[in-house]
Chains A and B, each alone.
Chain A
Amino acid sequence: MGSTVIITIITLSLLALASSVILYFVAQRFRVFEDPRIDEVQAILPAANCGGCGFAGCRNFAEALVKAETFEGLNCPVGGATVMNEAARILGKVAEVVDPTVAVLLCNGSPEFRPRTSRYNGASECRISHSLYLGDTDCSWGCLGDGDCVRSCSFGAMYMDPVTMLPVIIDDKCVSCGMCVKACPRHLIELRKRAKKDRKIYVACQNCDKGGPARRACKVACIGCGKCVKVCAFDAITMENNLAYIDAVKCTFCRKCVVECPTNSILEINFPPRKPKAEPQAEVAKV
């Protein structure tokens, strides 16, 4: 009885010893070399795995950073300049200066401005209703209101406003990962340069129809009249396909276009209220 136990112990110990020796040599032979800096860089990344950098996750991005010759085109929108500078310090490179951006919705067609002309009763996803027809209003460019963008946001930076039936982006939480931009089948979300105090001036419309049909479909549609282009002293506004576009880099926030727009399709956000005497016509309520 006693000898059986001893034999077992000895046999198993010998087996374990033999295996460990084999395993040691195998490990030496098939060792995968991994740059230790990858772990180091990954540790400073935000670990959100959002895909905002264009890579599958933070690990992939870290690998790409370590492999890259220069940091050109590589940016972590979530971490911003701090994280990128830190990564540059670890890898001994120079981080590109990238302006932080924020997502904005290029549609202001709440039911008040854009009456519903039909009712959609299918599966409630924008991508499905977009593939079926032009939408439940006469505007075939505007927000469908089923919230694909809200579902795509992994930072809780978006919610659907039950009154306007449009998604709202919370500037403080938005990391501009760009998932909502991809999710919107109508391409209504744009990543614009973040300005001081989160101030924004943009054309909240993507309607490329001519003035008449656009105006009939939605009271706050851009009708392509071109008044804003004329009034802008900084060449920041361009007109294409009956639609004005304000370049966020060139815009100096003078707010002249906002006053000029006959349909109030240019929005000014996070600005202090205007002084009434300076510009009397500016009393028209702006969102």
Chain B
Amino acid sequence: MLKTFPAGGVHPPENKITAGTPIKYLPVPENVIIPVTQHIGAPASPTVSKGDSVRAGQIIAAGKGFVSANVHSSVSGKVNKIDHIIDSTGFKQTAVFIDVEGDEWVESIDRSSSILKETDLSPEDIIKKCLDSGIVGLGGATFPSHVKLTPVSGKHCEVLIINGVECEPFLTSDHRLMLEKGEEIIAGIRIMMKALQVKKAMIGIENNKPDAIANLTKLASAYCEISVHPLKVKYPQGAEKQLIRALIKREVPSGRLPLDVGAVVHNVGTVFAVYEAVQKNKPLFERVVTITGKYLSNPGNYFVRTGTPLRHLIAAAGGQPENTGKIVNGGPMMGKAIVNTDVPVVKGMSGVILFDEKESVRKTIEPCIRCAKCVSVCPLGLEPYLLMTLSERNLFEKAERERITDCMECGCCSFTCPANRPLLDYIRLGKSTVMKMIRERNIK
């Protein structure tokens, strides 16, 4: 019996079209647009100005405060302008426009393909390097990684959990990374274990990726402290709390962090980025992006420099099909539709999916029939139908008592609803309103 989390979850059609496509390098575009804030937390502010020459790996925006991250140039060239753009979140933010000239990297970056397994850096130095390199969680949440690696007084970390679940349909970037960069990932895990000073690491991978499981099991067999765990295929297993429950059978209480149950979770993509930052001195300015869709002629996985406009990626995948109805950044369950193809690739973009007209249009909303399917699939044990109604009627105090803030917006309720009700739309609205209410109350 494979491990999984007990409550709720769904199993949408997998559609992992690009699982067998090796990762290719996307050519560097002529100009890039690098948003200065690509993480959760305090926004970063640009450190370059118009006309400056930059090289790949050079810092162009500095994070402010502890929960923040630096942004580095992904190309060499000249800063054309600093202006507002609409980014992949759909909102305006500051971005640095760079005209590419050649491909010159900062000297300290090791561009050789040799694999450096050991490091003699101290935990503090490793964390410092992650901070300087602007490493954020590459699973999609983009939480600054150095924060999660920094020890918290009074809390003891027992196990490092590596998230190779990739439970979202369509996406295969982590899968390919585990296959092709396995050695680097194992080395990265050992670096992070050193930083966290833990004795045990567990890699959780869903059972629909047997080749990745076999590859990492083989590579991890050299180290008794790293173990690979196949998991039952179920969405949203890649969510932090669900993965912890599946692997070490501990439940993270509401409003608490994984560290409270002695675990720290990092995505495999982040592990690879940490490896590159620590061993190769390479800041995070490149990531694997899956470009996929049923009607694309050439879907695939690409190493893409951040700031590359999406249209380059789409062109590499065979161009935008005529019947495209929606382009989604991220997975189909939690991803967000983007407004145009000039949107740049950012650190948190794990995949881009092109849906056709028919796939992208929502079905007619019908009245709730009280079947409680949403209740049974909610991995957090909430009552989505109730939360939706409360948000719809502006009963936010009641929604708060019904724990609307625990919702992680996985979308299982909307996915499963036979009446096509927009449950998550309203829950998200309620959640943000309640969060605002709580913040205002705390200020008072």
* Interfacial residues, chain A to chain B (CB-CB below 8 A): 117-118, 121-123, 125, 127-128, 131-134, 140
Whether A133 contacts B91 in the complex (CB less than 8 A), given A118-B339, A118-B340, A121-B360, comes out as yes
The complex places the Cα of A134 from the Cα of B422 at a distance, in Å, of: 20
Please tell me if the beta carbons of A127 and B339 are within 8 angstroms of each other in the complex.
Answer: no
Number of interface residues of B (CB under 8 A): 20
Which one of A122, A123, A131 contacts B432 once the chains associate, using CB atoms below 8 Å?
Answer: A131
* Interfacial residues, chain B to chain A (CB-CB below 8 A): 86, 89-92, 326, 336-337, 339-340, 360-362, 365, 422, 425-426, 428-429, 432
User: Which residues of chain A are within 8 angstroms of B360 by Cβ–Cβ distance?
Assistant: 121
- The smallest C-beta distance from A243 to any residue of chain B, in angstroms, reads 17
Please tell me if the beta carbons of A140 and B92 are within 8 angstroms of each other in the complex.
Answer: yes
- Name B425's closest neighbour in chain A (CB-CB): A123
**What are 13 A-B interface contacts by the 8 Å CB criterion?**
A117-B339, A117-B340, A118-B339, A121-B362, A122-B362, A122-B425, A128-B428, A131-B428, A131-B429, A133-B91, A133-B339, A134-B91, A134-B92
The complex places the Cα of A184 from the Cα of B18 at a distance, in Å, of: 44
Please tell me if the beta carbons of A122 and B90 are within 8 angstroms of each other in the complex.
Answer: no
Please tell me if the beta carbons of A128 and B426 are within 8 angstroms of each other in the complex.
Answer: yes
Q: Total contacts A to B, CB within 8 angstroms?
A: 37
Counting chain B CB atoms within 10 Å of each CB, the highest count among A118, A122, A123, A127 belongs to: A123
List 17 additional A-B contacts (Cβ < 8 Å) besides A122-B422, A132-B90: A117-B339, A117-B340, A121-B361, A122-B362, A122-B425, A123-B422, A123-B426, A125-B429, A128-B426, A128-B428, A128-B429, A131-B428, A131-B429, A131-B432, A132-B336, A133-B90, A140-B92
The complex places the Cα of A107 from the Cα of B356 at a distance, in Å, of: 33
User: Which residues of chain A are within 8 angstroms of B432 by Cβ–Cβ distance?
Assistant: 131
Interface of A, secondary structure class, is loop
- The smallest C-beta distance from B85 to any residue of chain A, in angstroms, reads 11
The complex places the Cα of A286 from the Cα of B326 at a distance, in Å, of: 37
- Name A122's closest neighbour in chain B (CB-CB): B425
- Name A213's closest neighbour in chain B (CB-CB): B84
Whether A134 contacts B326 in the complex (CB less than 8 A), given A117-B340, A122-B422, A128-B429, comes out as no
- Name A132's closest neighbour in chain B (CB-CB): B90
- The smallest C-beta distance from A207 to any residue of chain B, in angstroms, reads 13
The complex places the Cα of A140 from the Cα of B422 at a distance, in Å, of: 24
User: Which residues of chain B are within 8 angstroms of A133 by Cβ–Cβ distance?
Assistant: 89-91, 339
User: Which residues of chain A are within 8 angstroms of B365 by Cβ–Cβ distance?
Assistant: 123
The complex places the Cα of A127 from the Cα of B365 at a distance, in Å, of: 18
The complex places the Cα of A140 from the Cα of B360 at a distance, in Å, of: 24
User: Which residues of chain A are within 8 angstroms of B362 by Cβ–Cβ distance?
Assistant: 121-122
Please tell me if the beta carbons of A127 and B361 are within 8 angstroms of each other in the complex.
Answer: no
User: Which residues of chain A are within 8 angstroms of B92 by Cβ–Cβ distance?
Assistant: 134, 140
- The smallest C-beta distance from B327 to any residue of chain A, in angstroms, reads 10
Please tell me if the beta carbons of A121 and B425 are within 8 angstroms of each other in the complex.
Answer: no
Whether A134 contacts B86 in the complex (CB less than 8 A), given A121-B362, A140-B92, comes out as yes
The complex places the Cα of A218 from the Cα of B340 at a distance, in Å, of: 18
- The smallest C-beta distance from A252 to any residue of chain B, in angstroms, reads 38
Please tell me if the beta carbons of B425 and A134 are within 8 angstroms of each other in the complex.
Answer: no
- Name B90's closest neighbour in chain A (CB-CB): A133
The complex places the Cα of A122 from the Cα of B362 at a distance, in Å, of: 8
